[in-house]
Amino acid sequence: MAGVPFDQLDGHIWMNGEFVPWKDAKIHVLTHGLHYASAVFEGERAYGGEIFKLTEHTERLHESGRILGFEIPYSVKEIDNACIELLRMQGFSDAYVRPIAWRGSEMMGVSAQKNRINVAVAIWQWPSYFDPEQKMKGIRLDISEWRRPDPRTAPSKSKAAGLYMICTLSKHAAEAKGYADALMLDWRGRVAEATGANVFFVKDGVIHTPDPDCFLDGITRRTVIGLAKARGYEVVERVIMPEEMEGFEQCFLTGTAAEVTPVSEIGPYRFEVGEITRTLVNDYSAAVQPVHAAAAE
C-alpha cells in the first residue's frame, strides 16, 4: 500500500447501506461536511479477524453525531454488522477500521437542517502508527503551540472532524522539527493529550493521567486503565501541569492507532522506558487478541 493514494486502494467501502467499489465511494465538492466540518468518525483496529471493542466504538459514533446535532440513520447493530462483513470482504486479519458520518450536500451554508446524514466504513491495512524500530525506545514529542479548547467553545466530548484541525497543525510542526508527535496543553495550560492519543506518566510506581474534561476519554485509555488496575497499579486521574513532567520517570501514549507507545522525550523533559510501561505494552497486545478478549468478557 505504500505510496498508493487512499482514493486508489482496492476493495470495497460500505456507504449508506451498500458495499460499493472503493473507487466509486465519492462525495460532491459541495458536501457540508467538507466545508463546515459537520462530520464525526471512529478509529478501530481488527486483530486476528476481530474488531476490538467494535460496539463501544459504534456507540461512541452515535453519541458524537448526537452531540453535533444529527441522528445517524443506521443502528449500532447495522453498523457493527457492516464493519464485520466489510472486514471479511477485504480479506484482512489485522487492519484499521474507519467509520464516518457526515452531513451531505442538500443545503450549503451554516444552516443545514435538511441535509442527509451519510455514513461510510472503510477498512485498510495500517501497521504501527509510529516507527516500529523507534517505538520501544520511546518516541520524542514536541510541545504544541496549539491548545485543546474550552468545552464551551467546541464539542470536545465528540470525536468530531473539526477538532482535529489543530492536531494536524501540531503534528506537522513537530515532524518538521524531527519529532514523532506533539503534546498538547489545554486552554488553561494544563497537560491534555497528544495529537491523536491520550498520555500517561509514572512516578514512584503510580500512574498519573490527565482528567479528560476537555478532550476525548479514549476507549484505549479506559482499556489500559483497566489493565493497569488489574495488575495492582494505582491510577490517578487528575490535573497535571507541564512543569510536573520534570519529576515523572516514565511516559506513554494510548490510542487505537498508537496502541500503547512509550515516550522518551517531551520537549525538555526525559523519560525511561520502564517496567510499568513495558508491562502495559505487553498486556495491551495480549488483550486485543480475540482469544484473550473473549476470555475477559
pLDDT at 134: 78
What DSSP state is assigned to residue 201?
A: E
- Regarding whether 235 and 150 lie in a shared domain, the answer is yes
130 Cβ contact list (under 8 Å, min separation 6): 139, 180, 181, 258, 261
pLDDT per position as a tens digit, 38-88: 999 999 999 999 999 999 999 999 999 999 999 999 999 999 999 999 999
Percent of the chain with pLDDT strictly greater than 70:
96
34 Cβ contact list (under 8 Å, min separation 6): 27
Query: Catalytic residue among 159, 171, 177, 229, which?
Result: 159
pLDDT at 130: 75
Q: Count CA within 13 A, CB hemisphere, residue 36.
A: 16
Would you call 159 a catalytic residue per the annotation? yes
Greatest C-alpha distance within the chain? 57
pLDDT at 291: 56
- The answer as to whether 1 is a domain residue is no
Residue in 278, 201, 268 with CA at minimum distance from that of residue 235: 201
* CATH number of the structural domain spanning residue 57: 3.30.470.10
- Regarding whether 219 and 89 lie in a shared domain, the answer is no
pLDDT at 295: 46
- Regarding whether 257 and 173 lie in a shared domain, the answer is yes
- Cell numbers of 44, please? 478501530
- The answer as to whether 16 is a domain residue is yes
pLDDT at 297: 47
- Regarding whether 234 and 152 lie in a shared domain, the answer is yes
- Regarding whether 156 and 248 lie in a shared domain, the answer is yes
pLDDT at 128: 72
- Regarding whether 136 and 38 lie in a shared domain, the answer is no
pLDDT per position as a tens digit, 209-235: 999 999 999 999 999 999 999 999 999
129 Cβ contact list (under 8 Å, min separation 6): 196, 255, 257, 258, 259, 261
Cβ neighbours around 278 below 10 Å, total: 15
* CATH number of the structural domain spanning residue 136: 3.20.10.10
pLDDT at 234: 98
- Regarding whether 270 and 242 lie in a shared domain, the answer is yes
The overall average pLDDT reported for the chain is: 95
pLDDT at 2: 59
Ranges of residues in the chain with a pLDDT under 70 are 1-2, 291-297
| Cα separation values, 257 from 25, 42, 110, 117, 297, Å | 23, 11, 32, 26, 23
Structural domain of 76: 6-124
- The answer as to whether 48 is a domain residue is yes
